[in-house]
Every structure is written in structure tokens, then in C-alpha cells.
Structure 1
Amino acid sequence: MKRQLVALSFALCTAIAAAQDVKVVYHVNTGVETAAAILANINNELNASPTDKIVVVTHGPGIDFLLNNAKDSKGREFSGQVSALVGRGVEFKVCNNTLQTRKLEASSLLMEASVVPSGVAEVARLQAKEGFVYLKP
């Protein structure tokens, strides 16, 4: 009886762990030259695991693809890709410290982006307090 309870308990814990959604924070601090590949990675992840919760935290040059009218090397604006990912549940967060250092207003960002006090602090918070897995593409 005791062995059956242990086995049942283990099976329940395994099932609960498997049922939990994966939460991923993408840490982006590179410029627009890498943004298209990063957005493609996020799309690929969501195609494979549609229920994953994804938060993209940007700081430094990483915010550049979230600026109004930002374009990739082929002249395509990032706004359409960002909007499509937001439609799939992805959140985009921009470091206020970077905005202040670069003397940019929040109004210079795509409307889908939200501002956090510190990008690196947000990455740490998501990992430590909300159980997000860290990815640095």
C-alpha cells in the first residue's frame, strides 16, 4: 500500500509539472542587425509550443527594433512582426534607463512595447520571482 501511494504521488507530481506552461524571458541587448533572427526564433518557439509564455526584455541597443519606423536590413519595418507576436501573447518590455540615457521618450516606441524601470532588473525578477527560463539569443 505504501509503495502504491509513493508511486501515485510521484505520478501526480510528474503530471502537474508536465502541465505547467513554459515561461521564457528573451534578453535582448543587441541592435537591429540581430532582431529579425530573434523574432524568427520566437515565432519558431511558438509554432512548436503555442502555450509558452514569452516576455522579451530589451535594453541598450536591444531597444532599437522597438522604436517607431525601425527597419531591418531589407528595409522592412519591425512593427508588423512585433504586432503579430503580441497577438500570439508575447510581451515586449523596454528599459527606462536606456530611454533616459539616450534621451528618448516612451512615445518613440511601438505601441506594443511597455516600459520597465530597468531591463536587467526585469530579467532578474522574471527569473527569480516568476520562474522564467532565461534565453539570450
Structure 2
Amino acid sequence: MKAVFHQSTDDPGLHDRVLGNVANLLDDETMELDSVALVANSGGLELLLEDSPYRERVERLRERGVQFKQCENTIEGTDISESDLVSGVELVSSGVGELTRLQSSRYAYITP
């Protein structure tokens, strides 16, 4: 099974929830997971910044195999660059495009 989480809000409560949901999925021994990804766009960018209060949780999940993908459209026109993201976050041309690609590859879509 493959799953993609979508985070597009700047709500800190939803940042906590999505990271908790990802961890819960990984911890569910009844699931046979092939791949887990989280795609961030819009306000979800705050979740993946190096100076984010969520950095350590993101890094721990990345170490467990979760792929983190950040929409490049979101960061265009800001002072943020790829070096401002948590190490290992992949830039994708558009968040919605990446979500579409993953869903067409049979990823289950999950949003908090």
C-alpha cells in the first residue's frame, strides 16, 4: 500500500495532526506499506522549514522512510530557498501536480 498526506494549511494544530497521522500509519502493524509521502503546498510550507518547531519530528519521520515534498510554486516570490527547508525535502514543480501523479500511481490520498 502507498499513501500520500497533503498539508496546505498554516494551522499549527493541523501540522501536529498530520505528523501524528503519518506516525500512526507507520506504527500500524496491520498495514503493509510500500511508500509514504507528504506533499506540502501553500501554508503547509511552514511545516517543512529548517527553523520550524516541527523540524525534529519531520526528520524522524524522514529517517523512517517518509518522503517529504514541497511545492516550488509556493516558495516562488518569497525569500525562502531550498536551503531553508529541512534537509532531505524534495522540491516538486507543483504540489497539486505531484498529488495528481502520486494518486495516479495508486497512492491513497489523506488530508488531516
TM value normalised by structure 1: 0.74
* Structure 1 residues 1-137: aligned runs within 5 Å: 22-33=1-12, 34-49=14-29, 51-52=32-33, 53-71=35-53, 78-128=54-104, 130-137=105-112
- Mark the runs of 5 or more structure 2 residues left unpaired by the alignment: none
Amino acid at match of 1:123: L
Tell me the secondary structure at the aligned position of residue 101 of structure 1.
Answer: coil
TM value normalised by structure 2: 0.90
Aligned counterparts of 2:51 and 2:73: Cα–Cα separation in 1: 21
Contact 2:18 2:111 in 1 (8 A): no
Larger Rg: 1
Higher relative contact order (CA 8 A, sep 6+): 2
Corresponding pairs, count: 109
Amino acid at match of 1:46: L
Contact 1:24 1:55 in 2 (8 A): yes
Runs of 4+ in 1 over 3 A off after TM superposition: none
Contact 1:59 1:119 in 2 (8 A): yes
| Two-structure CA RMSD over aligned residues (Å) | 1.4
Contact 2:39 2:99 in 1 (8 A): yes
- Per-residue CA distance 1:94-124 (angstroms, 9 max, x = gap): 0000010334211111112110000000000
Identity %: 31
Amino acid at match of 1:133: A
Structure number with higher helix proportion: 1
Contact 1:32 1:64 in 2 (8 A): no
Amino acid at match of 1:29: S
